[in-house]
A and B are shown apart, each in its own frame.
Chain A
Amino acid sequence: MKGKGVFRLVGLAIAVAALAIACGGSKPAATAAQKPAASAAAVKQIKIAVVMPSATTDAAFSQSMWSALNAVQAEMGGPSAMEIKYSENMYNVPDAAAAIRDYASQGFDIVIAHGSQYGSSVQEIAKDFPKVTFAWGTDVNTFGLPNVYAYTAAAEQGGYVNGVLAAKLTKTRKIGVTGPVEVGDAKTYIDGFVQGVKATDSSISVSKTWTGSFSDVALMAAAAKTQIANGADVLTGSSQSVVGSIGAAKDKGNVLWFGTQSDQASLAPSLVVASQVYDWTAMLKDIIAKHEAGTLGGITYTLTLANGGLKIAYNPGYSLAADVKAAGDAAIKGITDGSIKVQP
């Protein structure tokens, strides 16, 4: 009995000592933390959260917003000037809605709902947080709410340019399009692409396949292989699953690729001719500036070739013939100055 008592006493002593060290240790840290915060208060950090339907590494839609956010953060001076929090792979809309609401209630200044499927969630949540700016895309509807911005991309414009280039480069005169689901910017991009091809040479055949999924890479690869087996020597397509098509083109070896949403040149350096890149940076900076000035929403942004939101990134690793590039540049100029009209 005596032995047990000693153990209990020792145990208690250790516990008390540990508590003392813990408490004593945290005090200096607490005071140290006060100082940097005080000086940082001079520049107010802007807090931005983004909810995305796929991974930041998807080489397409989500990655375009992710790169833009990081670029703007670097320009503004790093994480101390702009905090970014993100939730990726939010393809389940109720989960995404919960994340959006969470971020808004945690005091974020701007919450970006990067996915057209999040629309009704934003419409509901924005009303509960009138001091938070919500940015939502790709769509044009701000729901008449003063704290909602909407954004979209005129993907058919870059599609047209890619189509012009593709028409000039195909030797078999067969072009393949591997699409995911026939909606949104996938549809407008491909419609623009077909217009570009037909405007350059209406006898070239363009065949389209839709896999019915934005994420099924295996089916997309099979679709691309089928196009190639049918004789297509130039391919394009949209969505993150398009990496499957690029892989199929690479396997065959001499099939060219035109990308959209992000610069896809790194995926097949000798086969990607050009990509339409969504550059959200100017839009993000404008939203931040407007938010700081007190305008929390009410505007729809559209990325176009004219305003620099859409860029055609020629792949330096692919040697493009000068006359073909000239045709592409002429198409860009035509769309920018309005002489070429592309139907979305």
Chain B
Amino acid sequence: MKDVFSLNVITGIFNTMMGLAAPFLYAALGETFAQTSGVVNLGVDGIMLLSAYAAFYFTLITGNLWLGVLTAAIVGLLMGLLMSFVSVTLKAEQGVSGIGLYMFGLGMSSLLFKVTIGTVKTVVGFQSVKIPILGDIPFLGPVLFDNSIPVYGAFLLVPVAWWVLEKTTLGLKIKAVGQNPAAADSVGISVNGIRYLSVCLGAILAGLAGASLSISQLNLFQDNLTAGQGFIAVALVYFGGWSPIGVLAGSLLFSVVNSFQLWMQVLGVKISPSVAVMLPYLLTIAALTVTVNRVRQPAALNKPFERGEN
């Protein structure tokens, strides 16, 4: 057991955690914006998939990683506009349209992959960038200061998202629209406009999540690359109580337990693989039941706005 908890192993566990958490952070923070404004977007996984494909494909043919990131963001934006149009303008049932968006992303990415690439290929993705001096601190150095740019971006996004939501007028408007759209409307805030903005912002971030998978963490694209991570990201928004800090906590908890169970398997600790794989989910559920019941759900979540109706 002494071997198991050596500094090397603990550093390894937290290091793996950082890489695993990045896609969740992008997608869940993005979804936080959308849900804070009152729109549930269940299509996050589909957006991640189509953006992951786009980022990978454009990196493959141009050799330029940033062009891949840009393409992923554009794909995210387009899907966000689609979701906004269906949910906000057409006022369709958000859960259903989200699932439809997911299926569209899943099917389209599979089709495009088959037609344009055909077999699994790899690219040279974003490499780890070690920050000088800080990267040499024992434990904290390798964990916090030796990651790829997309991973740094994901963690830097947390304070930025918090600041936008808590300290800017825009954040206030988003929250108002999600809590009491009728009141916001009466004060002159464009409810639908803010919702469009939030959903598109969320979708762009989901696009970046996809890119972080295909051209940073995994450096390849395959059918159904995300394997449902987008849905976990949506769940993390609920877990985090619609707050960026909460989302960070949820993403880290889920990822560190996943990383921990992998290390335990590698080190040969006698744990049934089935139990090991269940651990992240079990602990997240346990954490949910133990934490104080936060009634912070946006009051107008999942309710389309019709002036004069609400």
CB within 8 Å of B: which residues of A?
54-59, 63, 89, 176, 182, 207-213, 215-219, 221-223, 225-227, 229-230, 240-241, 243-244, 246-247, 250-251, 266-268
Contacts and interface: CB of A to CB of B under 8 A. Distances in A.
Contacts of B259: 222, 226
B266 A176 contact: yes
18 contacts: A57-B223, A207-B265, A209-B262, A209-B273, A210-B274, A212-B278, A217-B225, A218-B226, A218-B229, A221-B217, A223-B265, A226-B262, A226-B263, A230-B263, A247-B218, A247-B219, A247-B220, A267-B220
B227 interface: yes
A59 B118 CA distance: 10
Contacts, number: 119
Interface of B: 12, 15-16, 19-20, 23, 110, 113-114, 118-122, 213, 217-220, 222-227, 229, 258-259, 262-263, 265-268, 273-274, 276-278
Contacts of A207: 265-268
Contacts of B23: 218
Contacts of A217: 218, 220, 222, 225, 227
Contact of A250 (B219, B226, B266): B219
Contact of A208 (B16, B110, B122, B265): B265
Contact of A218 (B20, B118, B268): B20
Contacts of B266: 176, 207, 209, 223, 226-227, 230
Nearest to B127: A251
A96 to B, nearest CB: 16
Given A217-B220, A219-B262, A226-B263, 16 more contacts: A57-B118, A57-B120, A58-B223, A63-B119, A217-B218, A217-B227, A218-B20, A222-B262, A223-B266, A225-B16, A230-B12, A230-B263, A243-B222, A266-B119, A267-B120, A267-B122
Nearest to B23: A218
A268 B122 contact: yes
A225 to B, nearest CB: 6
Given A230-B267, A266-B119, A268-B122, A216 B12 contact: no
Contacts of A59: 119-120, 222
A216 B227 contact: yes
B213 A226 contact: no
Nearest to A223: B262
A218 B277 contact: no
Contact of A240 (B12, B122, B222, B274): B222
Contacts of B262: 209, 219, 222-223, 226
A344 B224 CA distance: 31
A136 B203 CA distance: 42
Contacts of B224: 89, 215
A222 B20 contact: yes
Nearest to B113: A57
Contacts of B273: 182, 209-210, 212
B277 A211 contact: yes
Given A218-B217, A221-B217, A226-B266, A89 B277 contact: no
Nearest to B219: A247
Max chain B C-beta neighbours (<10 A), residue from A207, A212, A217, A266: A217
Q: 3 shortest A-B CB distances, which residue pairs?
A: A212-B277, A210-B273, A209-B265
A221 B15 CA distance: 14
Given A182-B273, A207-B265, A58 B222 contact: yes
Contacts of B217: 218, 221
